[in-house]
Copies of this chain bind each other. A is one copy, B any other.
Amino acid sequence: MESKIAFLENAWYVAALSTELGAEALFHRKILDVNVLIYRKQDGTPVALRDRCPHRFAPLHMGKRVGDDVVCQYHGLRFDCSGKCKHSPHGNGQIPKASDVRSFPLVERDGFLWIWPGDPALAEASSIPDCSEYSRSPKSAVAHVYMHNTCNYELLADNIMDLTHIDHLHGPLINTGGKLSPLIPNVTEVDGKVVIRWDWLAEPAMPLLGEHLAEPKAPAKMFFEVVWHAPAVMRLRVGAVQGSDDFVKDGVVLFDYHIMTPESAMSTHYFFASTRNYLTDDAAYNEGKMQGMLGAFTLEDKPMIEAQQAEMGTHDLWALKPVLLSSDAGAIRVRRVLKAMIEAEQGARLRAVS
């Protein structure tokens, strides 16, 4: 992996949505500064190879599918779906050493294609964050979407770890009317995950949820909870309930994931998915809600965060000495945990080399 900033490599990243990858396509995407080819075998299983022929560095996605193999369009080298060079049409057909293409562990689960950019020996599918709610819920209650952003992925993670921004950046449908910012959120760290949670009495609940409660205008208990997994995978739950303490059983809850994958130091793939415990058979509501979330993101979050990045230039956040607020607690914890993980990984790599 070549990159100008250090990324965590031994981690699962989302490479694409299941819906982005057609049966026949040679899909490609740059991930952690490396061009990656992704395609489905004839049985539907997706595979990921470096998108670069070892001969003359032609992109393999410009090539042809032949069964489960891919043939480079420039000089005809043929690779199987593990990246092994199977055929050279040149000379006596001998295949030179080092002709294999790097392959990446890739797992399709719950609507996401998870890739492991680091050492394949360390890739364990059991450590993929649990998004199984998207497979358990009916299709009419699930949506996945992809967005591209011209900024560093940590700024996007900060945005989710500090949800107080919704009262200042977003409209009344999804804000808390000023309830959130004064709260001191509860930040905990469990097994390398960082959890941030806000609980408050809403008067009334934010309309997005409140209109599905028995008494939309009456007070309701609400919470936000974000669970961060390295490097930038965040499960967000939002709930409102009246006359009970059990949000899931008696209230209305959104089960969202916000997942960022660095394309490069200054650009990011953003994957968002959502399901819920109400109106789960209403496909029209599902579509409308996703369009609304996408609109809020592309019209409000994205311009702000890209402008923030433009102002920061290529400077690191800490180099610019930001003023910190109580609402930054989760974002800062995440940045510290991630930094320690990256440094540990790089230290291990240096020790392995020396």
Measured CB to CB, the residues of A under 8 A from B are 35, 51-52, 54-59, 62, 71-76, 88-93, 96-99, 158, 162, 164-165, 167-169, 178, 181-184, 303-304, 307-308, 311-312, 320-327
Cβ–Cβ contact B311 & A75, under 8 A: no
- Starting from the known contacts A58-B304, A59-B311, A90-B182, 9 additional A-B residue pairs (CB-CB under 8 Å) come to A57-B320, A59-B308, A74-B168, A89-B164, A89-B181, A90-B181, A91-B183, A92-B326, A93-B182
Partner of A91 from B72, B92, B321, B325 at Cβ < 8 Å: B325
Q: How far is the CB of A298 from chain B (nearest CB, A)?
A: 15
Residues of B within 8 A of A182 (CB): 89-93
Complexed CA–CA distance, A344 and B117 (Å): 44
Residues of B within 8 A of A325 (CB): 55, 75, 88, 90-91, 96
Complexed CA–CA distance, A52 and B304 (Å): 12
Residues of B within 8 A of A55 (CB): 322-325
Q: How far is the CB of A289 from chain B (nearest CB, A)?
A: 24
Cβ–Cβ contact A327 & B57, under 8 A: no
Kindly report which residue of chain B lies nearest to residue A90, judged by CB atoms.
Answer: B325
Known: A98-B323, A303-B62. A308 touches B168 (CB 8 A): no
Residues of B within 8 A of A76 (CB): 164, 167-168, 181
Cβ–Cβ contact A327 & B74, under 8 A: no
Cβ–Cβ contact B58 & A308, under 8 A: yes
Residues of B within 8 A of A167 (CB): 76, 89
Complexed CA–CA distance, A323 and B58 (Å): 12
Complexed CA–CA distance, A71 and B181 (Å): 15
Partner of A307 from B58, B93, B98, B323 at Cβ < 8 Å: B58
Top-7 shortest CB links A-B:
A91-B326, A89-B181, A76-B168, A90-B325, A54-B323, A57-B311, A90-B181
Partner of A327 from B91, B307, B320 at Cβ < 8 Å: B91
Complexed CA–CA distance, A54 and B317 (Å): 11
Cβ–Cβ contact A96 & B323, under 8 A: yes
Kindly report which residue of chain B lies nearest to residue A331, judged by CB atoms.
Answer: B56
Q: How far is the CB of A321 from chain B (nearest CB, A)?
A: 7
Residues of B within 8 A of A324 (CB): 55, 96
Cβ–Cβ contact B184 & A91, under 8 A: yes
Known: A56-B158, A73-B169. A304 touches B62 (CB 8 A): yes
Interface-centre pick from A62, A97, A308 (highest chain B CB count, 10 A):
A308
Residues of B within 8 A of A321 (CB): 98
Complexed CA–CA distance, A76 and B164 (Å): 9
Residues of B within 8 A of A62 (CB): 303-304, 307
Q: How far is the CB of A303 from chain B (nearest CB, A)?
A: 7
Residues of B within 8 A of A307 (CB): 58-59, 62
Cβ–Cβ contact B96 & A57, under 8 A: no
Cβ–Cβ contact B311 & A74, under 8 A: no
Complexed CA–CA distance, A158 and B75 (Å): 12
Partner of A90 from B59, B308, B327 at Cβ < 8 Å: B327
Residues of B within 8 A of A96 (CB): 323-325
Partner of A162 from B75, B93, B183, B326 at Cβ < 8 Å: B75
Q: Could you list 23 examples of A-B contacts with CB < 8 Å? A: A52-B311, A54-B322, A55-B323, A57-B308, A58-B307, A59-B311, A62-B304, A73-B169, A73-B304, A74-B165, A74-B304, A75-B325, A76-B164, A76-B167, A76-B168, A89-B167, A89-B178, A90-B326, A90-B327, A91-B182, A91-B184, A91-B326, A97-B323
